[in-house]
Amino acid sequence: MMILHAEQLAIGFGGVRAVDGVTLGIESGQVFSIIGPNGSGKTTLFNLISGIYVPNDGIIQLAGETVTGLAPEALARRGLSRTFQNLQIFFRMSVLENVMVGRHRHERTGILADMLHWPSVKRQNEETQKAALAALARVGLADLAERPASSLSYGALKRLEIARALASEPRVLLLDEPAAGCNSVETQEIDRVIRSIAKDGVTVVLVEHDMRLVMNVSDRVHVLSQGKTLTEGTPEQVRSNADVIEAYLGVHGSQEAMRAFG
């Protein structure tokens, strides 16, 4: 079943076409990666799919329903969640509380009940806490639950964002460069987490620079260059595609490709 479908998506900022007619289709349960050199429009594409930007052109469909232009809150209610490249952690809250917010769309108490602290709220807090702890356990952060989020290492924060997004029980999870800035040990953790999520049937869409990670976990890879689709295929197909290599290499040869495919 095609769970996420984008057709001819386009958006421009002050004359620059950041995303220019991109079409892609993601099957339910896949791990789908979007790669491309810097400035190719990957994060912009993510922002379009997650409702942060409204496209100038094109449509987006989630599980058959047209969701183009819907706000992030509305998409969240439809089972879409994401992490952020620049870490949007709730730094004033504890690790556990961060993930508890992820449960928001499953929480059922209202403002009045909250203020009066009726028994339903106590129950809700307990349920939320339990689910949040479970999500933390999946990314290996359960024993850091009580710590302030601000005290975590960068790699741990990346996993925290994933746990938070997971807690909302999404059908589609967008991971925006989860391995950026992570060392090889942390990246392996991310690898493990992604596989575990995919095994549960969650569709994972990945934007990533780390080619090893992309090749390891992906079912399909979509390559962007300068806002347009370059090609799409299995990791092996993409890896050996001459156009892809040239997009990364450029005319004079770029170190990026050397490192990436090395």
Partner 1 sequence: MTAELLQFIFSGLTVGAVYALVGLGFTLIYNASDIINFAQGEFVMLGGMITVFLAAAGVPLPLAALLAIALTTTVGLALHRFAIEPARGASPVALIMITIGASIFLRGIAQIVFDKRFHSLPSLFGNEPVRFGGATILPQSLVVLASAGIIVLLLWLFIERTLLGKAVAATAANRLAARLIGMNTRRIVDFSFAVSALIGAIAGILITPITLTSYDAGTLLALKGFAAAMLGGMGSGPGAVVGGLVLGMLEALSAGYISSNYKDAVAFLVILVVLIFMPHGLFGRAKIERV
Partner 2 sequence: MSVRSLAERRYLPVLAIVVLIATAPLFFHSLFYYRIGALVFIFALAVVGLNLLMGFAGQVSLGHAGFLGIGAYAVAIGPTFFGLPPWASLIIGGVLSGVVAFAVGRPILQLRGHYLAVATLGFGVLISIVLTNEAEWTGGPDGMNVPHLVLFGWTVRGADVWYWLTGATFIGGFVLAGNMVDSPTGRALQAIHDSEIAARILGVDVASKKLTIFIISAVYASVAGSYLALFNGLVTPEVAGFLRSIELVAMVVLGGMGSVVGALVGAAVLVVLPQALTVFHEYEQALLGLIIMVFMIFLRRGIVPSLAATLSGWRR
Site of interaction with partner 2 (CB under 8 A): 50-52, 71-73, 75-77, 81-82, 84, 88-93, 96-97, 100-102, 104-105, 107, 109-111, 114-117, 121-122, 124-126, 128-129, 145-146, 164-165, 168
The one among 52, 63, 113, 249 contacting partner 1 by CB under 8 A = 52
Integer Cα distance of 257 and 249 in angstroms: 6
Cβ contacts of residue 178 below 8 Å, gap of 6+? 83, 158, 161, 162, 190, 194, 206, 208
Of 130 and 259, which CB lies nearer to partner 2 in the complex structure? 130
Indicate the angle between helix axes 119-138 and 95-102, nearest 10 degrees.
110
**What is the total residue count of the chain?**
262
15 sits near partner 1 (criterion: CB under 8 A): no
47 sits near partner 1 (criterion: CB under 8 A): yes
| Residue 31 identity (one-letter amino acid) | V
Q: Which does 21 bind (CB under 5 to 8 A by kind): partner 1, partner 2, none?
A: none
Whole-number minimum distance, CB 239 to partner 1, in Å?
Answer: 31
Integer Cα distance of 32 and 21 in angstroms: 19
14 sits near partner 1 (criterion: CB under 8 A): yes
* Binding segment (CB under 8 A) for partner 1, from list 29-37, 47-55, 100-108, 178-186: 47-55
> Going edge to edge, which strands form the sheet with 57-62?
16-27, 2-13, 57-62, 65-66
91 sits near partner 1 (criterion: CB under 8 A): no
The residue ranges that bind partner 1 (CB under 8 A) are 13-14, 47, 52-53
